[in-house]
Chains A and B, each alone.
Chain A
Amino acid sequence: MEKRFMKGCEAIAEAAVRGGCRFFAGYPITPQNEIPEYLSWRLPEVGGAFVQGESEVASINMVYGAAATGKRALTSSSGPGISLKAEGISYLASAQLPAVIVNISRGGPGLGSIQPAQSDYLQATKALGHGGFRAMVFAPATLQEAVDLTYNAWEYAERDRGPVLILMDGCLGAIMEEVELPPMKELKIENTEDWDLSRANGRTDAHMITPILPEPALEMLNRAKGMVYNMMWPMDAKAEEYMLDDAEYVVVAYGIAARVAKEAINELRAKGVKIGMIRPITLYPFPKSIENLDYSKVKGIIDIEMTIPAQMRDDIELQVKGRCPVHEYGRSGGMLLDDEGVYNAIAEITGGGN
């Protein structure tokens, strides 16, 4: 494995190339500009294509076209741009085309701020576009995890024939860490046959790729997708469980918030507070770890997110089912979570460590 010291956005761009990505279209928006900048020179090196689109709307529709050729296609943006891409993401779901979308999220709503935030959880997990489809959402907390999840994201997109989202915040996009880069993937052409207009595998019949269907066929598609979401995807749910064995308090946090919370948990543990953490790695499917906690021991769940109000809370409450109080702490609008603030918030809730 090749080790490199890389910036978050560049690390996932390189991981995408090594994962087989050969097409990127995107539009400049802070804080994700290093992704298109990197791919603008990197993709041509490996025979891929880079297009700077006239808008996020055009870019996601270029990805839709590229995905239909059997090529692994990527776009990236941040909250305001993801809203614009909602149209094309829904069309990807409808036409059953695989593609990967990266959201390096920032403060919202509206133009919001360009500083990091985790304000797009609900958009990512509940409705990336109109029409009631779901996308698998990966939320890395380290750059190594971002590399690994990006590298394998197309396998999920192609298996389930639809969009996959990687949700990171501006902190992770901007920080530099050492990463191990996996080798360049050798891709098989034959597994793209169902949606590939390229005829690379000797297909002679014509293909129709359509985002519009006769009503009975559309209902059938939605039923089939519902079964995938509800029966297949739970098996793909991933979470990191940290110091849960004797935990009386459990922090639930993802991405950068989980990294800050872990520092506080370590400090509180040193002072005798029985506290642990569940860190969802897939935000959708949402891992079941919270449901299976021992509520004879757990006195409280603490939802820590870099957004106000907390957006993951509904999903947490659905698993807690009233068995203990759910608390929340966060910062918002591009104001960052810091060690002291998170420590103090948890210490106050747990009544310990002071």
Chain B
Amino acid sequence: MPEYKRPSSLMPMATGYCPGCMHALATRLVADVIDELNQADNAINVVSVGCSALNLYSWHGDVIGAAHGRAPAVATGIKRCLPERLVFTYQGDGDLAAIGLAEIMSAANRGENFTVVFANNQTYGMTGGQMAPTTLIGQKTTTTRFGRDPQTTGYPLKMCELISVLEAPVFVARYALNSPKGVSDAKKGIKKAFEMQLAGKGFTFVELLTNCPTNWGMSPLDTLEYMNTNTIPYFQPGVYKDAEAAK
């Protein structure tokens, strides 16, 4: 039996995330993969703004805080100067798909050789549950009290679909963290992305569908079923682009 241990990239402390929040799980998956690849001393975690910023304090390896939405730009500067390091951003959906849309699309289009881990929980968690670019149609938030109305707010942005039409990215995939299989697949996806980066293949993007029990106003268990019936049908998990598989 393999021993279930704390990954070496995480501090021996509570994460600060709300009970049942999948940010903690997503962070752990990344840290586990880093250990499996023996990259704890080589990784640089570019932390974004939002709940994901809590990783600044719980991450035990090299870590740098970026401005809201700018993590792909910061990672570009780092990776261009330190090409041998394993560089990744960890960004939420408000950060990546709204204020940072230019930075993510341009870094992807340049084929920057780093990995983006994108936690999509369809809300702005840190600021108290406002509508995100990924909020589902009809979903209630503090700025869409009667549910998101596409007439005035448009439709949830599908980032994997957008990024996979670009030429440069080499791996683009989405996983849902509300089932054991989803978690297991997500870990494999993160590992594949990191391995492709270490091999110098190019830009890799892993989207993780996560929850927000606090701002969705649900128990953690209820969020799992909500994701099955609402989130997953719209944001379909799968590998959207894999340059290795195409060969």
In angstroms, how far is the closest chain B Cβ from the Cβ of A244?
45
A206→B60 contact, CB < 8 A: yes
Query: At the interface, yes or no: A25 with Cβ under 8 Å from chain B?
Result: yes
Query: At the interface, yes or no: B65 with Cβ under 8 Å from chain A?
Result: yes
A208 is contacted by which of B63, B79, B106 (Cβ under 8 Å)?
Answer: B63
Query: At the interface, yes or no: A71 with Cβ under 8 Å from chain B?
Result: yes
Interface size class of B (residues with CB under 8 A): 20 to 34
Interface size class of A (residues with CB under 8 A): 35 or more
B64 is contacted by which of A55, A70, A88, A209 (Cβ under 8 Å)?
Answer: A209
A58→B81 contact, CB < 8 A: no
> Of residues 77 to 107 in B, which have CB atoms within 8 Å of A's CB atoms?
77-82, 85, 102-103, 105-106
Q: Chain A residues in contact with chain B, CB under 8 A?
A: 22-23, 25, 49, 51, 53-55, 57-59, 61-71, 73, 87-88, 91, 95, 197-199, 204, 206-212
Q: Chain B residues near A59 (CB, 8 Å)?
A: 73
**How many Cβ-Cβ contacts under 8 Å join chain A to chain B?**
122
Question: Contacts A208-B56, A212-B65 given: A25-B44 contact, CB under 8 Å?
Answer: no
With both beta carbons as reference points, the residue of chain B lying nearest to A52 in the complex is identified as B110
Q: Chain B residues near A87 (CB, 8 Å)?
A: 67, 70
Question: Contacts A22-B81, A23-B77, A49-B80 given: A65-B64 contact, CB under 8 Å?
Answer: yes
Complex CA distance for A22 and B82, rounded to whole angstroms = 12
B80 is contacted by which of A51, A91, A197 (Cβ under 8 Å)?
Answer: A51
B73→A69 contact, CB < 8 A: no
B102 is contacted by which of A55, A62, A208 (Cβ under 8 Å)?
Answer: A55
With both beta carbons as reference points, the residue of chain B lying nearest to A198 in the complex is identified as B82
B70 is contacted by which of A57, A208, A210 (Cβ under 8 Å)?
Answer: A57
Q: Chain B residues in contact with chain A, CB under 8 A?
A: 41, 44, 46, 53, 56, 59-67, 70, 73-82, 85, 102-103, 105-106, 110
Pairs A-B, 3 closest by C-beta atoms: A65-B77, A66-B77, A54-B106
In angstroms, how far is the closest chain A Cβ from the Cβ of B53?
7
A71 is contacted by which of B66, B70, B81 (Cβ under 8 Å)?
Answer: B81
With both beta carbons as reference points, the residue of chain A lying nearest to B47 in the complex is identified as A210
A62→B106 contact, CB < 8 A: no
B74→A54 contact, CB < 8 A: no
B77→A25 contact, CB < 8 A: yes
B81→A49 contact, CB < 8 A: yes
Q: Chain B residues near A209 (CB, 8 Å)?
A: 63-65
In angstroms, how far is the closest chain B Cβ from the Cβ of A201?
14
B46→A65 contact, CB < 8 A: yes
A-B residue pairs in contact (CB < 8 Å), sample of 9: A51-B110, A64-B66, A65-B79, A69-B81, A206-B59, A207-B62, A209-B64, A210-B56, A211-B67
Q: Chain B residues near A65 (CB, 8 Å)?
A: 46, 64, 66, 73-79, 81
In angstroms, how far is the closest chain B Cβ from the Cβ of A66?
4
In angstroms, how far is the closest chain B Cβ from the Cβ of A35?
17
Question: Contacts A65-B76, A210-B56 given: A23-B65 contact, CB under 8 Å?
Answer: no
In angstroms, how far is the closest chain B Cβ from the Cβ of A175?
31
